[in-house]
């Protein structure tokens, strides 16, 4: 009977041999990224809700006018605000109305979350997979060297890429 460690070592040797091929495509964050949904820092609550509802994503990327990354706003952030309204706003608590009052005057910059991790276009796909798994991110912003947002990687965009390889 062949030992599992022996088979693993053979696969490792084969992988190292294959990795020496110059024309071998190396998957990176750029290969898995999709187009993000952008918000500007001055966008209001209505625009935030409209974009979150209209898109398939659950996250909007907040960027400056020159597309520099500021942070993100996701559906859960808005639900938390509604929950605060339920707990602390009598109109909402008693009458079940007035949910938007708590953030209607807010702008995207007031609601933005700083993201713990971003990747660059050339980041190896294995590192991106680690971040999605370890950090539990629903998406990871992909930036170029000038910190301009070029796309986002989501679990589904990763699956779409990896099923081809």
Could you report the per-residue pLDDT of 47-86, keeping only the tens digit for each? 888 888 876 667 889 999 999 999 888 888 877 877 766 6
Indicate whether 10 belongs to any domain. no
Those residues with Cβ within 8 angstroms of residue 129's Cβ, 6 or more apart along the chain or in another chain: 158
Instruction: Report the predicted TM-score, pTM, of the whole model to 2 decimal places.
Output: 0.72
Q: Residue 112 CA to chain centroid, in angstroms?
A: 13
Of residues 73 and 7, more confidence is placed in 73
Nearest residue to 76 via CA among 97, 54, 60: 60
Those residues with Cβ within 8 angstroms of residue 13's Cβ, 6 or more apart along the chain or in another chain: none
Lowest mean pLDDT among 42-46, 94-98, 102-106: 94-98
Residues 115 and 60 sit within 8 Å (Cβ to Cβ): no
In whole angstroms, give the CA distance from residue 23 to residue 61. Answer: 35
Indicate whether 149 belongs to any domain. yes
- The SS3 call for residue 152 is strand
Indicate whether 54 belongs to any domain. yes
**What tokens appear for 129 in the block?**
């997979």
User: How many structural domains compose the chain?
Assistant: 1
Of residues 93 and 119, more confidence is placed in 119
Question: What's 93's domain CATH number?
Answer: 3.10.580.10
């Amino acid at each position: 009977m062949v030992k599992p460690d022996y088979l693993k070592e053979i696969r490792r040797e084969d992988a190292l041999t294959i990795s020496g091929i110059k024309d071998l495509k190396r998957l990176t964050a750029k290969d898995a990224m999709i187009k993000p949904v952008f918000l500007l820092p001055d966008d209001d609550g209505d625009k935030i809700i409209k974009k979150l509802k209209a898109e398939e994503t659950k996250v909007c990327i907040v960027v400056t006018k020159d597309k520099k990354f500021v942070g993100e706003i996701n559906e859960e952030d808005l639900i938390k605000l509604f929950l605060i309204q339920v707990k602390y706003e009598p109109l909402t608590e008693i009458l079940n109305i007035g949910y938007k009052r708590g953030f209607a005057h807010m702008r995207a910059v007031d609601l933005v979350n700083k993201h713990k991790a971003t990747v660059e276009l050339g980041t190896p796909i294995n590192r991106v997979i680690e971040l999605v798994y370890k950090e539990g991110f629903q998406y990871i912003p992909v930036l170029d060297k000038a910190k301009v947002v070029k796309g986002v990687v989501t679990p589904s965009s990763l699956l779409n890429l990896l099923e081809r390889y």
